[in-house]
A and B are shown apart, each in its own frame.
Chain A
Amino acid sequence: MPVTVPSALEAQIEELIARYPQKRSAAVMVLHALQDHFGCLAPETMEWAAAKLELQPINILELVTFYPMFRQAPVGRFHLKVCRTLSCALAGSHELHRHLCEKLGLDRHAHGPQTTPDGKFTVEFVECLAGCGTAPVLMCNDACHEGVTLAQAEALLAQCEGG
């Protein structure tokens, strides 16, 4: 099933491609734009991107499977990314992750992003979010939360539930 890319998005993607001397150089930017729109990068979306960039689909699949920020399956409405790199790990990010998973009924040992059955929350361990001085750090969608205590995490969940 071919993907339908809205003309506004296609125009945005064409503008991105035009910034680079070679079309393929825009691949990561184009994939971000597509993922922002569709929520994930399904096979049809990758094939569309490959055709747009005059590449083969395998070239796109290599990128999508290399970068953890690209995903091939959708995530929940609230995507909680908990940093697990050194500073955050020392400052309790693993407790934070476990707490979030327990609160949401998710398997904290499972690999990759874990999503609640209602599709509302996804919890995922990620690498450094560049807030080492204010560890532990998590991101809820595009918002960064620093020095997150367990109480603050619960408040964040409640806020999302209400929102």
Chain B
Amino acid sequence: MSAAAVVTSPAPPSSDTVNVTVDGRTVAVPRLLPDWRGKLVPTTMIQACEQAGVEVPHYCYHAKLPVAGNCRMCLVEYGLPALGPEGQPLRKPDGSLAVKKSPRPAIACATPISPGMEIYTATPEVQQMRASVLEFLLINHPLDCPICDQAGECKLQEYSVEYGHAASRFVETKVHKPKQVDLGPRIMLDDERCILCTRCIRFTRDLAGDDALGIVNRGSYNTLAAYPGRAFDNPYTLNTVDLCPVGALTAKDFRFQMRVWFLKETKSLCTSCGTGCNVLIGSRENRILRYTPRANDAVNVCWLCDHGRLNYRWIGRPDRLRQLAGSRLPAPTWDAALTEVAQRLRHAVPGSVAVVASARLANEELYLIRRLAQHTGAATDIVPRSGPGDAWLIHADKNPNSLGAQRLGISADPAGSRLSQFAAAIGQGTLRTLLVFGEDVTPRGLGPELLDRLECLVVSDILPNRTTERAHVLLPGCAHAEKCGSFTNVHGRVQRFFKAVEPPGGARPEVEFLRELLQRVSGEPQPDTAEGLFHRMAAEVPAFAGLTWAGLGDTGAARPPEAERVRPRADATAG
């Protein structure tokens, strides 16, 4: 399978505009808009309606997929400027253009606009068409909403409320189709719920590059299927669950776990690689139940790889580190632990301290580590993490914030190259205090026997490992879902994530205890919000210059390119 190369940044909209009237309101819309590949194509009626703020109900249309035009839900009425016998536009007595309404409706998703077009989405005829399309779609659809996972986010339900008939006129026997079809390792299919919109087929064929799904049989027996004996298994299959407007395709992972209306959704990022796909974390009562992609045209459009999506269970693992621990812990309080570590750092001989940080920590945390290292004269590095990547969303760099660590000067060049120096220095006895934040260093040349030779090993982590076992002071930390911060993805885009769930037991966000530790070591007050820290970092670290916390928004921001070369002068006046 080859993942199709996809243009992730949309082409700039054409400055060329066309005036169309949607439900009586005239709007200027671009003549061309990017299609699913980012190629500029003539704007369609559904896009014009969207720009006019009018939603046209639809099932098969999806802005990021090729247009199929099969569901007929987006039928609208329209009119075009009337032309006289000479081909000249006809005018009304008041001088305005006369518009001739088309005798037939058109599907808004596949009909291009033209100048002077009038689109009518709210006429009784359009309402009637929507009701009729829905009635057909529901003929063979089971009424199993109470046990359907899609309930609450089902387009069939939503449009039935808005446009459907209150009662069914269908007295015949419904066509029965396969249920609980094990389509692949992560997907379950209920063919009776399928409305044959083909979104999943188009995504899988045209975007994932794995032509695995199709519609077999004919007429009312039409059935979505994979070829018998061939599992639907590519790295992106779970996107079809998001795309499915009904409950036909469900994720085995989330199936029957939670009614979706109980989920709290938190804007976050996927941490499984350096791409930094935007996600929503769905949680309830402090338990994470699913990740779903969050739209960001500059990063992941609206897709997510299966591995990243399912890589959340570790956050709720029962063996999470919950309590402060270690032989040098004077008392089991954060205050005592941080005072002890600060004391040690303040009195350390320069060159006797080193820090191994994780490129899974946020920019703000790495910034605090940078400051801490500056105060103690400590050398720093990170643990690089690489794996298989592809030409689409899966990056070979498996750390979510490698570039942040690089730009903050935490990681060596190349990343991880200083770890062997640390090992040598421990061996020689010159390196006596090691701080490890969020990594197990034992497989990285800093084995247990070396760690045992340290005078002081301070470790913070989330899950137990061979490094945490040896810590003289163990500080329980947080997963990204339990705190707020930002990551810099492999393309230099700085993006924010927010807290979805509470950390377990006595665990605290690294950003909090690093700040307190830095205050104790430096004696200087530090900002106590992510925003304040971010602004201090942006003021201090050239790689973040020009960025503001609020400016990152929901989809993040890359550093303005001019900020890289021209530092704003204090006396510069605003233009």
A-to-B contact residues, CB < 8 Å? 43, 55-59, 61-62, 65-66, 68
Residues 118-149 of B contacting A (Cβ, < 8 Å) = none
**Which of B213, B216, B217 has the most chain A CB atoms closer than 10 A to its own CB?**
B216
Set A55, A58, A65, A68: member contacting B213, Cβ < 8 A: A58
Query: Nearest Cβ in chain B — how far from A11, in angstroms?
Result: 27
Interface assignment of B214: CB less than 8 Å from any CB of chain A: yes
Q: Is the CB of B212 within 8 A of A58?
A: yes
Given contacts A43-B228, A61-B227, contact A56 B212 (CB under 8 A): yes
Interface assignment of B5: CB less than 8 Å from any CB of chain A: no
Given contacts A43-B228, A61-B227, contact A56 B211 (CB under 8 A): yes
Interface assignment of B230: CB less than 8 Å from any CB of chain A: yes
Set A57, A62, A65: member contacting B230, Cβ < 8 A: A57
Residues 174-195 of B contacting A (Cβ, < 8 Å) = none
Query: Nearest Cβ in chain A — how far from B510, in angstroms?
Result: 48
Query: Nearest Cβ in chain A — how far from B348, in angstroms?
Result: 63
Set A57, A66, A68: member contacting B227, Cβ < 8 A: A57
Chain A residues with CB under 8 Å of B215's CB are 62
Chain B residues with CB under 8 Å of A62's CB are 214-216
Chain A residues with CB under 8 Å of B227's CB are 56-58, 61
Closest 8 CB pairs of A and B: A58-B214, A65-B216, A58-B227, A57-B227, A56-B211, A62-B214, A65-B217, A66-B218
Chain B residues with CB under 8 Å of A56's CB are 211-212, 227
Rounded to whole angstroms, the CA-CA distance of A57 and B214 in the bound complex is: 10
Of the A-B pairs whose beta carbons lie under 8 Å apart in the complex, a sample of 15, sorted by A's number, is A43-B228, A43-B229, A56-B211, A58-B213, A58-B225, A58-B230, A59-B214, A61-B216, A61-B225, A62-B214, A62-B216, A65-B217, A66-B217, A66-B218, A68-B218
Interface assignment of B324: CB less than 8 Å from any CB of chain A: no
Query: Nearest Cβ in chain B — how far from A111, in angstroms?
Result: 10
Q: Which of the four size classes fits the interface of chain B?
A: 10 to 19
Cβ contacts B229-271/A at 8 Å (1 or 0 each): 1100000000000000000000000000000000000000000
Rounded to whole angstroms, the CA-CA distance of A89 and B218 in the bound complex is: 22
Q: Is the CB of B218 within 8 A of A59?
A: no
B-to-A contact residues, CB < 8 Å? 211-218, 225-230
Chain A residues with CB under 8 Å of B212's CB are 56, 58
Rounded to whole angstroms, the CA-CA distance of A55 and B212 in the bound complex is: 10
Chain B residues with CB under 8 Å of A68's CB are 218
| A56 (CB) vs chain B CBs: closest residue | B211
Rounded to whole angstroms, the CA-CA distance of A26 and B225 in the bound complex is: 23
Query: Nearest Cβ in chain A — how far from B240, in angstroms?
Result: 14
Set B211, B217, B218: member contacting A58, Cβ < 8 A: B211
Query: Nearest Cβ in chain B — how far from A55, in angstroms?
Result: 8
Chain B residues with CB under 8 Å of A61's CB are 214, 216, 225, 227-228
Rounded to whole angstroms, the CA-CA distance of A61 and B224 in the bound complex is: 12
Rounded to whole angstroms, the CA-CA distance of A58 and B200 in the bound complex is: 14
| A47 (CB) vs chain B CBs: closest residue | B227
Extra pairs beyond A57-B227, A61-B225, A62-B214 (16, CB < 8 Å): A43-B228, A56-B211, A56-B212, A56-B227, A57-B230, A58-B213, A58-B227, A59-B211, A59-B214, A61-B214, A61-B216, A62-B215, A66-B216, A66-B217, A66-B218, A68-B218
Chain A residues with CB under 8 Å of B217's CB are 65-66
Query: Nearest Cβ in chain A — how far from B70, in angstroms?
Result: 14
Query: Nearest Cβ in chain A — how far from B58, in angstroms?
Result: 24
| B226 (CB) vs chain A CBs: closest residue | A58
Chain B residues with CB under 8 Å of A55's CB are 211
Query: Nearest Cβ in chain A — how far from B400, in angstroms?
Result: 35
Chain A residues with CB under 8 Å of B226's CB are 58
Chain A residues with CB under 8 Å of B216's CB are 58, 61-62, 65-66
Rounded to whole angstroms, the CA-CA distance of A59 and B204 in the bound complex is: 13
Query: Nearest Cβ in chain B — how far from A155, in angstroms?
Result: 35
Rounded to whole angstroms, the CA-CA distance of A57 and B225 in the bound complex is: 11
Query: Nearest Cβ in chain B — how far from A30, in angstroms?
Result: 17
Chain A residues with CB under 8 Å of B225's CB are 58, 61
Rounded to whole angstroms, the CA-CA distance of A65 and B177 in the bound complex is: 15
Rounded to whole angstroms, the CA-CA distance of A121 and B228 in the bound complex is: 29
Rounded to whole angstroms, the CA-CA distance of A56 and B229 in the bound complex is: 13
Rounded to whole angstroms, the CA-CA distance of A58 and B201 in the bound complex is: 11
Query: Nearest Cβ in chain A — how far from B68, in angstroms?
Result: 15
Query: Nearest Cβ in chain B — how far from A63, in angstroms?
Result: 9
Query: Nearest Cβ in chain A — how far from B55, in angstroms?
Result: 33
Chain A residues with CB under 8 Å of B214's CB are 58-59, 61-62
Chain A residues with CB under 8 Å of B230's CB are 57-58
Rounded to whole angstroms, the CA-CA distance of A99 and B99 in the bound complex is: 62
Rounded to whole angstroms, the CA-CA distance of A58 and B210 in the bound complex is: 11
Rounded to whole angstroms, the CA-CA distance of A43 and B230 in the bound complex is: 12
Query: Nearest Cβ in chain B — how far from A112, in angstroms?
Result: 12
| B229 (CB) vs chain A CBs: closest residue | A43
Query: Nearest Cβ in chain A — how far from B34, in angstroms?
Result: 27
Q: Is the CB of B228 within 8 A of A65?
A: no
Rounded to whole angstroms, the CA-CA distance of A61 and B230 in the bound complex is: 13
Rounded to whole angstroms, the CA-CA distance of A56 and B208 in the bound complex is: 14
Rounded to whole angstroms, the CA-CA distance of A65 and B230 in the bound complex is: 17
Chain B residues with CB under 8 Å of A43's CB are 228-229
Rounded to whole angstroms, the CA-CA distance of A65 and B216 in the bound complex is: 6
Rounded to whole angstroms, the CA-CA distance of A43 and B228 in the bound complex is: 9
